Amino acid sequence: MPAPVAAVDAGGVSVDQQAAGGAVTVEADPSPSHTSSNEPAANGSEDDGRKLRNTANRQASAAMGGFSDDEYVSVGEVPLPRADNFKRVSMLPLVFIIFYEVSGGPFGVEDAVGAAGPLLALLGFLVFPFIWSIPEALLTAEMGTMFPENGGYVVWVSAALGPYWGFQQGWMKWLSGVIDNALYPVLFLDYLKSAIPALEGGLPRVLAVIALTVVLTYMNYRGLTIVGWVAVLLGIFSLLPFVVMGLVAIPKLEPSRWFEVNLQDVDWNLYLNTLFWNLNYWDSISTLAGEVDNPKRTLPKALFYALILVVLGYFFPLLTGTGAVSVNRGLWTDGYFSDIAKIIGGVWLRWWVQGAAAMSNMGMFVAEMSSDSFQLLGMAERGMLPEFFGKRSRHGTPLIGIIFSASGVLLLSWLSFQEIVAAENFLYCFGMILEFIAFVWLRIKHPNASRPYKIPVGTVGAILMCIPPTILICAVLALSTLKVFLISMVAVVIGLVMQPCLRYVEKKRWIKFSISSDLQDLHANNQNNNVSLLD
CA distance 523 to 519: 12
- The predicted pLDDT at position 172 comes to 92
- The predicted pLDDT at position 62 comes to 37
CA distance 211 to 199: 13
Q: Is the dihedral of CA 406, 410, 412, 418 positive or negative?
A: positive
Write phi, then psi, for 13 (nearest 5 degrees). -110, 120
> Which domains does the chain show, CATH number per domain?
91-512 (1.20.1740.10)
Average pLDDT per block of 10 residues along the chain, 535 residues long: 38 37 38 37 42 40 38 37 65 93 89 94 94 94 93 94 94 88 76 71 80 83 82 91 94 93 90 88 91 91 95 95 92 88 93 86 86 92 92 86 85 65 78 94 92 92 93 84 83 93 92 81 48 56
- The predicted pLDDT at position 183 comes to 76
- The predicted pLDDT at position 317 comes to 95
- The predicted pLDDT at position 320 comes to 94
CA distance 396 to 409: 22
Instruction: Name every residue whose Cβ is closer than 8 Å to that of residue 510 and which is 6 or more positions away in sequence.
Output: none
Contact 10, 23 (CB under 8 A): no
- The predicted pLDDT at position 534 comes to 63
DSSP string, 265-298: S--HHHHHHHHHHHT--GGGGGGBGGGBSSHHHH
Q: Is 471 exposed, middle or buried (0-12, 13-18, 19+ CB in 10 A)?
A: exposed
- The predicted pLDDT at position 519 comes to 74
Neighbours of 47 (CB within 10 A): 10
- The predicted pLDDT at position 8 comes to 38
Contact 346, 156 (CB under 8 A): no
